[in-house]
């Protein structure tokens, strides 16, 4: 699956994975930035709470975005693949200037939305300039290769992670969430050992990676984003390892980025960005 290509001169929209548990009350910086990108007081946010089993998730995010002053925030009740084919759902989605996918279970997103008209519409809208954010499970689903589930721990082990197709807004990254809080370095390394083309994004809670149309990632939030760059791997034992065996990886590059830092997916170069001026 290749991401939809921008049409004409319009840049594609931002892709914004959030590590989960984003601040919602005292200083909701991530949600504020998303709402501003989507048009501020003119913004129309379509909320997709499909990943969540909690019945009030959609209403809660409607209220949060209303409090931020957007023009309209609406949760779309997409509880089945049939729901994702209804003309009224597509019409509501296509009026949005921003799409927000909530947390929950990313396999619900993959199995309910994958390949449906709703998923295709989100891909085309993002290519045309609409911004798409996802938190927790919603973050994992944004990329082409999605971590469906896996084991915790710091070391990569063969068979410790299961991948499935995601939404496919980008094929440049593999995303993991609740990263430091749930000790998920090992499963992200394992996923990248399967596919060294992509860059790994390990998102702490209340931390977001704003992936711009120029493929530059900017960090916002109270935690860190662990960037795992496997492009210069010198050796991997993944092809020799049996299930549950540790995997040897040589030459993996790792960056820890905090608010204000940046990473370019084209050049694979990290920068302290505004951190250098505010902390220096």
Q: In the annotation, is 152 catalytic?
A: no
- The answer on pLDDT for 132 being more than 90 is yes
Judge whether residue 36 has pLDDT over 90: yes
Q: What is the pLDDT of residue 239?
A: 95
Report how far residue 168's alpha carbon sits from residue 180's, in angstroms, rounded to the nearest whole number: 25
Global pTM? 0.96
**Cross-strand bridge partners of residue 271:** 262
What does pLDDT average to over the chain? 96
2 pLDDT more than 90 = no
The answer on pLDDT for 280 being more than 60 is: no
- pLDDT for position 62: 98
Average pLDDT, stretch 147-155? 96
What is the pLDDT, as a whole number, of residue 66?
Answer: 98
Mean pLDDT of 21-34: 97
Enter the tokens of residue 157: 């082990």
What pLDDT does 195 receive?
82
**What is the layout of strands, in order, in the sheet containing 269-271?**
72-75, 44-48, 98-101, 131-135, 15-18, 207-211, 216-221, 262-264, 269-271
Q: What is the CATH number of domain 15-279?
A: 3.40.50.880
Helical H segments across 17-127, by residue range: 29-37, 57-67, 87-94, 106-113, 117-127
pLDDT digits (tens, 9 = 90+) for 179-196: 999 999 999 999 999 989
pLDDT score recorded for residue 277: 74
What is the predicted pLDDT for the residue at 9? 76
| Catalytic entry in 112, 131, 145, 178 | 178
> Which of the 8 DSSP states describes residue 101?
E
Place 279 in a pLDDT band, splitting at 50, 70 and 90: low
The answer to whether the beta carbons of residues 183 and 226 sit under 8 Å apart is: no
Phi, psi of 138 (to 5 degrees): -60, -30
pLDDT at residue 1 greater than cutoff 90: no
Can you give the pLDDT at residue 243? 95
Q: Where are the domains of the chain?
A: 15-279
Check 22, 144, 205, 218 and give the catalytic one. Answer: 205
Active-site residue 205, yes or no?
A: yes
Whole-number pLDDT of residue 275: 86
CA distance 35 to 53: 25
Catalytic residue among 52, 136, 143, 160: 136
Q: Is 85 a catalytic residue?
A: no
Q: For 191-224, how does the pLDDT look when each residue is reduced to its tens digit (9 = 90+)?
A: 999 989 999 999 999 999 999 999 999 999 999 9
């Amino acid at each position: 699956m290749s991401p939809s290509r921008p049409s004409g001169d319009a840049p594609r929209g931002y892709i914004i994975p959030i590590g989960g548990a984003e601040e919602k009350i005292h200083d909701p910086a991530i949600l504020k930035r998303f709402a501003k990108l989507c048009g501020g007081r003119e913004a129309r946010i379509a909320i997709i709470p499909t990943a969540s089993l909690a019945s009030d998730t959609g209403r809660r995010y409607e209220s949060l975005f209303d409090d931020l002053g957007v023009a309209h925030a609406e949760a779309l009740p997409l509880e089945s693949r049939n729901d994702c084919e209804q003309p009224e759902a597509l019409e509501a989605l296509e009026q949005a200037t921003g799409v927000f996918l909530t947390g929950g279970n990313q396999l619900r997103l993959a199995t309910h939305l994958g390949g449906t008209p709703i998923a295709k519409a989100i891909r085309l809208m993002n290519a045309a300039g609409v911004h798409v954010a996802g938190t927790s499970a919603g973050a994992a689903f944004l990329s082409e290769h999605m971590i469906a589930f896996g084991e915790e721990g710091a070391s990569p082990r063969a068979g410790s992670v299961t991948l499935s197709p995601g939404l496919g807004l980008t094929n440049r990254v593999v995303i993991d969430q609740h990263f430091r809080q749930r000790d998920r370095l090992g499963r992200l390394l394992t996923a990248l050992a399967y596919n060294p083309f992509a860059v790994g994004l390990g998102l702490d809670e209340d931390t977001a990676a704003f992936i711009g149309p120029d493929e530059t990632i900017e960090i916002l939030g109270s935690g860190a984003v662990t960037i795992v760059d496997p492009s210069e791997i010198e050796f991997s034992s993944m092809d020799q390892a049996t299930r549950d065996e540790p995997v040897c990886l040589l030459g993996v590059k790792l960056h820890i980025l905090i608010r204000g830092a940046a990473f370019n997916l084209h050049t694979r170069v990290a920068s302290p960005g505004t951190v250098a001026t505010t902390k220096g």
